[in-house]
Each structure stands twice: as structure tokens, then as C-alpha cells.
Copies of this chain bind each other. A is one copy, B any other.
């Protein structure tokens, strides 16, 4: 990793004084220069260092250290999304210490990071802060997944697009039974029931989301179960259609085959399954260390190869739609909403949360912008339908 050794005395770098920059400082400055980023420079994507211990910390602990140093207020960037985009385009994260990520990767192989017991932990960490956060951020539809911006001007329009896109891709018709694995805040269940005449059952282990969804879907043929999706085995009937939005990211590659097998067992013959998930270009076994610690414990993003390895011989891929760049725009809209709503949220969440959330949203927006992340909607059948007409 080329991490300079020796004691690194804080140097007051950037103050124009006489102190000679330390090894770590020089190294970070050189690396960032490769990405067109200056330290304390004039561009919106340039880095402002408030605490010079930053340099050493980021070299030693990579993404995790950079993120924690950001949360601690050691550094700042006006246009954090553009900073991340430049870092990614220059491939800088490969230069600095992915030590924690590497350790995670090692543990990811023998250990199943997504056991039955862990989902609750994810939910408690990520979804339980309170619906007020998501209400401020997600807009009218409370849809915590990629919006489809075709012909849309606003986030609300784009999220309405997504809901209808999913329903149209599934070919929902009155009387169909739809299973929603994950369920979110219930907007998809509501749309499928109200506008497509379906009966919907959603499984979601988040108490807050389930309560919100029940309220949202009142009076409609929607049943929200606050249970792990595997409890679906107790449902008396199979489903005509199954959908899973922003859920597969929590499943873990060791469980893809089991998950897809489970879904298949719940799907009627002639049915369709729509999987909406973020994906990555290269197969990995763990997620980013900072994300793992602060945002989605045990989360990992699938590659096409990992997903396809688990569909072969059991599912036919009827359609594979990639609209990753729409997630950049979605994340930026969430960020703007979050920032606008922050004065109301601040007393409850605190400034460290604000920095954490900013880091999460803007680094992800950048990931989609530079095409490190993809957004996939994959339509799968058992191979027992005559054909499928893909929808855009």
C-alpha cells in the first residue's frame, strides 16, 4: 500500500508556513493530485483539511478511516459528491489502505455475514432512527429506492414512475396476488392494490416501516406482516407475482441461491419475479468497511456474475434493465431534501449524524455517477411462460 512509516507529526500543512509536509501528508497530496483534487484549493471538489492527523489516518485505514475522519469533522469538501467522483475515476481507493475492508473480505469467505439473526441488526441500525428522517428525505411516495427519471422533472414524479414501471413490468392485473419481499414504507403495495387491483402481502421486519405501511394502505387489500420474509412459507397460497425492492443488498452472496430458491417456491407456475437491486461491476464478498460499520451492517452489493450463478438452471432472465445513473439523481434529490429538512431533525439526530448521512448519500451518488454502482431491475420467470415483452 506504500504507507510511509515513522512518526508523523502534525505539520500544519496548507498554512504556507515553513514546516515541511510529513510523509503521509505528501503522499495524500500526491494521490489527490492524480485525481485533480487540491488540498485547501479553490475548487468546490477540493479538500479542506481541518485536522492534519487526517493524512495519516486515511492512509492507515482507507475508506473506513476517511469516513470516520469526516464524521469527526477533520476534513470537508463543498461538493463532496464531485470529490468522490474524482477519487473514483482516478482509482485512488485502490492506492490507500483497504486494510479494514480486506479483513472484512477475509471474514466474509468462511463466515456468513447475513445469518438469520443479523437482519434485525441492520433494521435497527438503519431504519429505526425514525420515519421523520425518511419523510424529510424521500418525498411524497416514501420510496427508499432508485427513482426512474424518464420524462420526470421532480423526485415525486420519478418515484411515481418507478412504482408504475415495476407494476407494468410485472404485468399486474386485477385479482393477482403480489408478494412484496421487503415492503418498504408500503408505497408499492398501495400502488399495486389501488391502481392495479391486486391483493398484496408484504413482509418487512422493520416495525416503523410496517406501521407506516399499514396506515398508508388502510382500506386496501394489503396485508403487512412484520416478519422475516422466510415466514412466507406459512402463507396458504403461492403468489402470481413477487417483487423485491432494495432488499437483495442485505441478503449476502452466500444466501443468494437460498433466497432465489425461496422466492421460486413461493411463485406460482407462470409467474414473474422482479428483483430491483443495486449491483456492482466486480464480484466481492463484502461491502465497503465504512458502509458496513455505519450504514448497512452486513450489506453487500451483488455482481451480475454472482446473481447469474444462482439463477442458472432455475430461472430465465426475461429482462435486465440497468438505470444506475438515475440513482445519482435520486440520491442528490434525497440529499437536497435531507438538507432542507435538517433544521427540524437536528435536535434529534445531532451533527455527527448529519455528517455521516451526507457522506453516505453523496459518496453513493458519486458511485452511480462514475458507474461503479448499477441499478438493476431484473425480471425472472420459471421458464414456463410463452414469452415476455419488456417494458421501459
Contact = CB atoms under 8 A, between A and B. Distances in A.
A336 interface: no
A305 B309 contact: yes
Main secondary structure of the interface of A (DSSP, over half): loop
Contacts of A283: 312
Contacts of A389: 150
Interface residues of A, number: 36
A317 interface: yes
A371 interface: yes
A390 B387 contact: no
Interface stretch (A11-19, A102-110, A321-329): A321-329
A316 B386 contact: no
B312 A388 contact: no
Contact of A321 (B325, B383, B390): B390
B304 A312 contact: yes
A282 interface: yes
Given A319-B321, A320-B319, A312 B281 contact: yes
Contacts of A321: 319, 390
A330 interface: no
A5 interface: no
A281 B303 CA distance: 19
Contacts of A386: 325, 369
A390 B317 CA distance: 16
Contacts of A387: 323-326
Given A305-B308, A392-B390, A281 B319 contact: no
Interface in A26-49: none
A313 interface: yes
Interface in A356-385: 369, 371, 374, 383-385
A318 B376 CA distance: 10
A89 to B, nearest CB: 9
B392 A313 contact: no
B282 A312 contact: yes
Nearest to A386: B325
Contacts of A308: 304-305, 308
Contact of A322 (B305, B319, B322, B384): B319
20 contacts: A281-B312, A281-B313, A282-B313, A303-B312, A304-B317, A305-B305, A305-B308, A308-B308, A316-B322, A316-B371, A317-B320, A318-B322, A319-B322, A321-B390, A323-B390, A325-B386, A326-B387, A390-B392, A391-B392, A392-B392
Given A321-B390, A390-B392, A391-B392, 9 more contacts: A150-B389, A281-B313, A282-B313, A305-B309, A308-B308, A320-B322, A326-B387, A369-B386, A371-B384
